[in-house]
Amino acid sequence: MDKPPSPLLKSRIPRKTIIVDPNLFAVIDDREFRIYNLHCPLRKGIIYYHRDGTIFEHNIHSPRKHEPRIIVPKHLSRCLVKISFIPIKGNQILLFATYYGNSGSYLHLSIHEICSETRVGPALWSFNGCVDGHFDIDDLELIKSTENALGITFGVRFINHWKLFDISTTGTDASDNFPLIESGRIDVGLKLKKSWVGENSLVILSPDRHILLNADLKRGRHDETIDIHYFNSGGTNNMNFSFVTRMSIPIPWVEDLDIKIIDLWYPELAFSADGSKFAIVLNGNRVSVWDIRSKAPLKTFMEFPKPDYDDPPVRYLQFSSGNLGKEVLVFIERDDSSSLETIHVINVTSFETEEILPLNLENPGIYGGVGALFFDPNGGTLYAELYGTIYEWDLQKNKHGPEWWIGE
């Protein structure tokens, strides 16, 4: 019997586009074929990613033979770690990329005009240089700004504050002059907690930068504490946050060799687009959604089966923007017993509707799993990448009104 039409998706059957031959993923060392950091920052159908050190732009809806386009070629002496394209003011887009080399860590920044058909044009300005002696490149993150000419700033986190850096495009093109100029800071009244996983605990800012969450996880503890800080005073580039309250969320227990222990994975947090709620994955296999103001749980999902490997069974937790498509929460669940990865698409307004989209793992031991899950910038289309193929689902259009609309 056929299923009734989906209230969330225009069709449960995805559109598929092959961007790398899936047979290439069968080799033991397939790193040169794997696709990393896929995202869709400009418009539906135009995807950005890097593969084998080269940065690409790819219109997956275009039949033209010159797709994909190379934006930045492979650097012969550096290893490309991550990339991100971010639209900025003035009909331009910023490319932020990090590299590792034999003599240190390197930063690539370039500003491009957005050309016709919403494509990335040639670089108007660029910087390529070493960051050693300035900060740890792994601590550098992008933060939206309303006070500078580009609409974007960078943050580097310390124990109880961030230092903020603006991009200076004067006299830095193809030179050794470092382009990130300290422009402000974000202060937090209570020291941000550290955990045993790495050096730092998880800290995230709400999209409007008015709420800060700080999660802390320690061995042998039965709950996760989340400190909530609210914006107190200051301007966009000098913000002060005050500690408001501490939440305690139980950590799911797992059985291991008949001994009840807490087998810890680092928590994963995600804010909704309007900052009114957040989702958290605890111990890799329990997903819950919380109201930020009341600190009340809106929904807790079943615990997902613990896999036989070291990766958590739940990944890619995120909300859509809700601007054009329905506002949804998505994540991927791995089930080793069925060789499936399942995409969960959940209505986060009423929590009454959930779509389950299974993707078959032909050989999980060799291929791994889904490499990316992401939305177009308007939240109207969901993408997943598996073995070099892009799967694409369109969400039902958002009807402006109190039920779904969350605003720009």
pLDDT by residue, tens only, the chain of 408 residues = 567 888 899 999 999 999 988 777 766 555 677 899 999 999 999 999 999 999 999 999 988 778 899 999 999 999 999 999 999 999 999 999 999 998 899 999 999 999 988 999 999 999 999 998 888 898 888 888 777 888 888 988 877 778 899 998 876 544 458 899 988 888 876 666 544 333 335 778 888 778 888 777 665 556 667 777 787 766 656 777 777 777 777 766 554 434 344 445 677 889 998 889 999 887 657 788 999 888 888 988 866 555 555 566 788 999 998 787 778 999 998 876 667 889 999 998 888 889 999 988 766 555 568 899 999 999 999 999 998 999 999 999 876 544 433 333
Q: What is the DSSP letter of 137?
A: G
Query: Distance between the two ends of the chain, CA-based, in angstroms?
Result: 40
Instruction: Report how far residue 238's alpha carbon sits from residue 248's, in angstroms, rounded to the nearest whole number.
Output: 30
Under DSSP, the state recorded for 83 is: E
The domains of the chain are located at 1-33+261-408
Distances (CA, A) of 71 to 37, 50, 58, 140: 14, 10, 10, 22
In degrees and rounded to multiples of 5, residue 364 shows phi and psi of -55, -30
Q: Which two tokens stand for residue 76?
A: 């012969």
Q: What residues contact 174, with CB distance under 8 A and at least 6 apart? A: 126, 127, 128
Q: Among candidates 161, 126, 133, which has minimal Cα distance to 237?
A: 161
Spatial separation of the C-alpha atoms in residues 53 and 99, rounded to whole Å: 9
Which tokens sit at 334? 């791995």
